[in-house]
Amino acid sequence: MHKHLPRQRARMLRHPGRFNPVRIHSERDMQGRHLRLSLAPGQSLHEAIVGPLKAVGVRSASMTILGGQFARLSYCVAPPDPSGKAVIAYSAPIDAGETFMIFGNATLGIAADGAPLVHCHATIRCADGTFRGGHILPDRSIVAARPISVLVTAFEGFTLRQSFDPETNIPLLQPFRENKNDPADA
């Protein structure tokens, strides 16, 4: 007979800003490419994604990381903001050390300053056998000795750009249609 664990109540996130009746902002891309990427050993997760995709003209994409070893990995979690000023507040970085990423999802977009931005969430197994999950810090996470496979869906007709969201009071990646006259698109 199985012993039932007590049910945990789902956490409630309250958006502190002005309500937006449009809950999902989306774009459709009929021209997107599908690619397979191998994350290079010794590179940060950010470098291993941004460099190869930039080389083939990809600036915005959705990715599935199929799992692999990291020589070093840092992550954080995003509990509700205790001040109530924003929907969440990221924790301080947590150093997980040598880690196996079981599965991850990453998004490539453009930061508010125009630089490439990689946003990644993953489930990991730490060296001590514990399982963790959260927001992976791409600049601080280094691919170990073997390449890691990634499935990429590149967006051709729109970009994902970091912009301030007045409802959550945090910057979010949001879809924007390409404007060929925008210097950031050059």
Nearest to 97 by CA among 66, 75, 67, 77: 75
Predicted confidence (pLDDT) at residue 178 exceeds the cutoff of 50: yes
Q: Specify the 3-state DSSP secondary structure of 9.
A: coil
Q: What is the pLDDT of residue 5?
A: 65
Residue 86: per-residue pLDDT: 84
Percentage of residues of the chain with pLDDT beyond 90: 63
State the pLDDT at residue 185.
Answer: 46
Confidence of residue 10 (pLDDT cuts 50, 70, 90): low
Interval 87-111: pLDDT, tens: 888 999 999 999 999 999 999 999 9
> What confidence score (pLDDT) does residue 27 get?
74
61, with CB counted inside 10 A (0-12, 13-18, 19+), is: buried
Please provide residue 164's backbone torsions phi and psi, each rounded to the nearest 5 degrees: -70, 135
pLDDT for 168 equals: 82
What's the pLDDT at 183? Answer: 47
DSSP for 41-101, please give it: TTSBHHHHHHHHHHHTT--SEEEEE--EEEEEEEEE--PBPTTSSSSB-PPPPEEEEEEEE
* Percent of the chain predicted with pLDDT > 70: 82
The rounded Cα 104 to chain-centroid distance in angstroms is 9
- Mean pLDDT confidence for 45-56: 98
> Higher confidence at residue 93 or residue 6?
93
Note the pTM of the prediction, 2 decimals.
0.85
Tokens 């509990």 appear where? 79
Task: Inform me whether the pLDDT recorded for 123 exceeds 70.
Answer: yes
Beta-carbon contacts of residue 53 (< 8 Å; ≥ 6 apart): 35, 37, 59, 61, 108, 152, 154
